[in-house]
Chain A
């Protein structure tokens, strides 16, 4: 259903007695049930719920949430929102559901109110174990039918309108994926109040709620009106031909909720408040239908074992639209709306101004006033009844940030989203992963403390190695408790690692997310690697291989290498292959050092090398100087890694490729020169051979730029070779002297770069060698003029002047 289907006219009650449908107390002296239909994470609803509860003074609060979470409500007084209820399936931790709570969530307000007034709280939705079992069953059925699951809808178990969100498929989630600026139009059942607001022409449902609903009536009447509107919407949705997935679950869920309401009535509670998504309000309103059909529906539901607990949460995670965020794009703004009652806009801008001043930006009160005025004016132009978030943000950018996008983004991150971090008191049941991590840390005598601490590990000791493995596994899990102080990749061949340890509070949240991968650090790390490898490209895969080796996860390494092999087969880009070959060979070489020999690694390294070899010549054809030089550099790096393979037969293929490149007439100069040099350094060709090639390249038939590239490539491996080989130097020297004048200007920058990159000592050695060479050849000729003693020749008339001055300075006099 689309938002345009929402009836915009006056809402007609569907039953003759509106009171029965709208949650208004039934007019007799029996127990009273008030249904407060809310917008999940809506600050307006939150405030209304708090006010309504104060007014109603219920003896029990029923809340939409997993029924098995009841025992956890005792921890509410110690919790600091944002927090989330996390339910993990014991046998399959990747099957998890989150119910995030912010301070401005109506559900949280209900929990807090009940805790403060010592009133019992019941969660009345299906238990998490049942939801998980239903989801699993549905996914199995889908898999059997081979119907691609619609990610958006199957992502939320138990009906799309639940305020829970889950990650049935960890690999589908993109961590760090930011919520889009404008959330996609939600369906009516997902956000019925948003749909109503949209129908009324409002894009900000919160402000609409504020304008239309809250400021007009007392909170109880508000909920009655909402229930009425929802009844009409539901009526409308029934005619909708498209049956959204989870419809079946919705029936189950509402049946379960009704049963819970009946149970509370049976217990003899006189005043019952039910807080649930607005969509469900009409279904739960008294008088309830007969209980028998509901009981029949709920009989024999499947159930799996789950573990529920509270975990700390962050506002940034609330803002995430995908995965297990709450999809609240602006938690900071919502929180402001929730806590501030008047002068909402000016107070907001005062906060923005203060934050910008904190960054040393000149923001005066005048700026703040202008921003507020612009926001109001924008709201008028856009026809908003009151200032909405997009007015506020546009005004922030134009009036406070000088139109700067980066700064506006910063304001969004810091204030609109916010940097709030919740906390959970000690004593709350810990996640299995958390327990495992703490046990491992204790065993390795490490403390999870906030103060940073440096640690040097000796990998030859068992303790050092075990700690290193733990740190690398946590890195793979995105729980950066330990951060390397030096690049671990580079030092993978050594016995030493340096780390900085710091357990920051955010890590609890990261750990809660990592818990989706598994119940132990090893298991979770394995799963995390597997998930990351699924869509990774070749460079990312090779990094993963190295990380996996460092983290000692042999179980997953084999599969990972299979992926590398497969990807390498499809990689069309020689550069990518060359870049990948180096770390793989290095990993192969050093896997022994770290005590993790892997036979497959050698195989993959070999096949990748063969693949890269075959691609070099075609890739080098037709390149310009810069990209050819880049390719040559990569070839040289790969060659350095190949040297680590010792006497492996595959190296022959590599050498053959280098020979082909070196002998190729139509390649750019740089790779040819570089390959020649690599062959020379590896003693695969003789210096005489090189001299011959050099003189061929430097003869008239080759373009000067190619020649310069050749020399640059050849000398990129160090210049001493020409200092020690008079033949090479001679060829070079002759060439330089015969380059025609205008061509010289062309190649001079390249030559300057070539020789300028050498250390001074090398340059001096080449200079000396040149002088000696010239001496041997006698005076004249192309080389620099030299004196009889082999030193530089002195041009007497020209030197006379400076000589006289020098003498004068030295006190000699004439």
Chain B
């Protein structure tokens, strides 16, 4: 499936090229201008399914179908899409796959940071050329946004709320007038049909650089929630850690492996402040304990077991990872973790070796 096996992390459109090709081949529904797939096929690509010819499309997003439908429907109108959620709720992941399915590429990307300048949203200059030749089309360095407008593609803007407000507002004209004026040349770039923006923003960062209401109005907002059920989260962790493991040449864990279930149990219990059976209250730690962290705990555990252990992942392989994920603030979280170990883990049947491993790691 991977076209270029030497890459550490292939893009979505590379990794799932065959699925995209199969979808495109069998997609007989109308496609919006410049879209590589019909909206329905995009939804199928994200949620998974089986095509008429038997091709199996793997699910990319495990969660509510309606959220993906809203996201795709938004892109089909000319409104921009804002994916909102806690860290680790697959915002970037969903954005990348949407871009790959809609435009065939996920590479037009602006990474939002507090240092993101207007150049990254509008255009910059090749200064050597600018000085030598004066302002000209050739001296212009287009931003990913400008490229997307020209080439009728979807552009992704990561962490929109981290971008300073004045730079954010450069997007207003682009999103409302669908044009990017270049006053230095007296020209403009008008967006071709099929251009759109997928932005992601972090729920916890709210207020860092809150979007102006003028900009906010140009977005439809989809909030990606934490996995709703235990089984759903187990599936996500299994699937993603398997994908990560493949690119790291690590063995794949069977679905619903005991240690995956354990990690997910610990994460869900600490996150929600109560045990899964609802009987015992638990103090939640300061970190967000996202699914993404659970995935990395499992992947680390597999790596540990493969390289240093007996090859089979066990409680001692995940204990250290969990400790690192839970204890973010050494003072408060350590107490939370130790309390959880004593009140919940110690008494749970079949968790004896995990308890011992955690105690050993915690020292």
Contacts and interface: CB of A to CB of B under 8 A. Distances in A.
Interface of A: 362, 364, 366-367, 370, 373-374, 377-378, 380-383, 390, 394-395, 397-399, 401-405, 622, 624, 627
Given A366-B217, A390-B66, A398 B339 contact: no
Contacts of A397: 70, 221, 223
A667 to B, nearest CB: 15
A377 B220 CA distance: 13
Interface string B205-221: 00000000100110011
B76 interface: yes
B215 to A, nearest CB: 12
B342 A403 contact: no
B353 to A, nearest CB: 21
A374 B338 CA distance: 49
Nearest to A373: B77
A367 B72 CA distance: 18
B40 A374 contact: no
Contacts of B69: 378, 381-382, 394
A378 B70 contact: yes
B220 A374 contact: yes
B122 to A, nearest CB: 24
A374 B342 contact: no
B223 A405 contact: yes
B43 interface: yes
Nearest to A382: B69
Contacts of A398: 70, 74, 220-222
A373 B216 CA distance: 17
B335 interface: yes
Contacts of A404: 223
8 contacts: A366-B217, A370-B220, A374-B220, A380-B76, A381-B72, A397-B223, A403-B82, A404-B223
A366 B214 CA distance: 11
Contacts of A366: 217
A624 B220 contact: no
The B contact surface, by secondary structure, is: helix
A382 B223 CA distance: 19
B70 A394 contact: yes
A381 B222 contact: no
B76 to A, nearest CB: 5
B112 interface: no
A182 to B, nearest CB: 11
A381 B79 CA distance: 15
B73 A367 contact: no
Nearest to B40: A381
Given A370-B79, A381-B43, A403-B223, A364 B217 contact: yes
B73 A402 contact: no
Contact of A374 (B66, B73, B216): B73
Nearest to A622: B342
Main secondary structure of the interface of A (DSSP, over half): helix
A546 to B, nearest CB: 25
A394 B66 contact: yes
Highest count of chain A CB atoms <10 Å: which of B66, B70, B223:
B70
Contacts of B335: 624
A405 B67 CA distance: 13
Interface string B49-85: 0000000000000000010011011101101001010
B144 interface: no
A383 B40 contact: yes
Given A370-B79, A403-B221, A362 B70 contact: no
A139 to B, nearest CB: 32
Interface-centre pick from A366, A390, A398 (highest chain B CB count, 10 A): A398
A687 B66 CA distance: 70
Nearest to B65: A382
Nearest to A624: B339
Query: Of B66, B82, B335, which is in contact with the most chain A CB atoms at under 10 Å from its CB?
Result: B66
B217 A367 contact: yes
A402 B216 contact: yes
B72 A370 contact: no
A399 B79 contact: yes
B77 A374 contact: yes
Interface of B: 39-40, 43, 66, 69-70, 72-74, 76-77, 79, 82, 84, 213, 216-217, 220-223, 335, 338-339, 342
A454 B108 CA distance: 67
B73 A378 contact: yes
Contacts of B342: 622
Contacts of B221: 397-399, 401-403
A381 B47 CA distance: 14
Central interface residue in A381, A390, A394, A404, by most chain B CB within 10 Å: A381
A381 to B, nearest CB: 5
A399 B220 contact: yes
A373 B213 CA distance: 20
Nearest to A390: B66
Given A364-B217, A381-B43, A398-B70, 13 more contacts: A367-B217, A373-B77, A374-B74, A377-B76, A381-B76, A394-B66, A394-B70, A397-B223, A398-B74, A399-B220, A399-B221, A622-B342, A624-B335
Looking at A362, A395, A403, A622, the one whose CB has the most chain B CB atoms below 10 A away is: A403
Nearest to B76: A377
A382 B69 CA distance: 7
A775 B84 CA distance: 67
Nearest to A383: B40
A813 B355 CA distance: 74
A370 B66 contact: no
Contacts of A374: 70, 73-74, 77, 79, 220
The residue in B43, B84, B221 that gathers the most chain A C-beta atoms within 10 A of its C-beta is: B221
A466 B105 CA distance: 77
Contacts of B43: 381
Contact of B73 (A364, A381, A622): A381
A373 to B, nearest CB: 5
A398 B66 CA distance: 11
A201 to B, nearest CB: 14
B77 A370 contact: yes
Contacts of B213: 362
B40 A403 contact: no
A155 to B, nearest CB: 27
Contacts of A383: 40
A538 to B, nearest CB: 14
Contacts of A378: 69-70, 73
Q: Which 9 A-B pairs have the closest CB atoms?
A: A403-B221, A403-B223, A377-B73, A398-B220, A378-B73, A381-B39, A381-B73, A394-B70, A402-B221
A364 B74 CA distance: 18
Contacts of A395: 70
A567 to B, nearest CB: 16
A383 B217 CA distance: 27
A394 B73 CA distance: 11
A374 B77 CA distance: 7
Highest count of chain A CB atoms <10 Å: which of B73, B79, B216, B339: B73
A194 B207 CA distance: 46
Contacts of A401: 221
B17 to A, nearest CB: 24
A403 B72 CA distance: 15
Given A381-B39, A381-B43, A403 B73 contact: no
Contacts of A381: 39-40, 43, 69, 72-73, 76
Nearest to B75: A377
Contacts of B73: 374, 377-378, 380-381
Given A377-B77, A378-B69, A390-B66, A403 B217 contact: no
Contacts of B70: 374, 378, 394-395, 397-398
Contacts of A405: 223
Nearest to A403: B221
A390 B339 CA distance: 43
Contacts of A382: 69
Contacts of A624: 335, 338-339
A522 B39 CA distance: 62
A402 B222 CA distance: 8
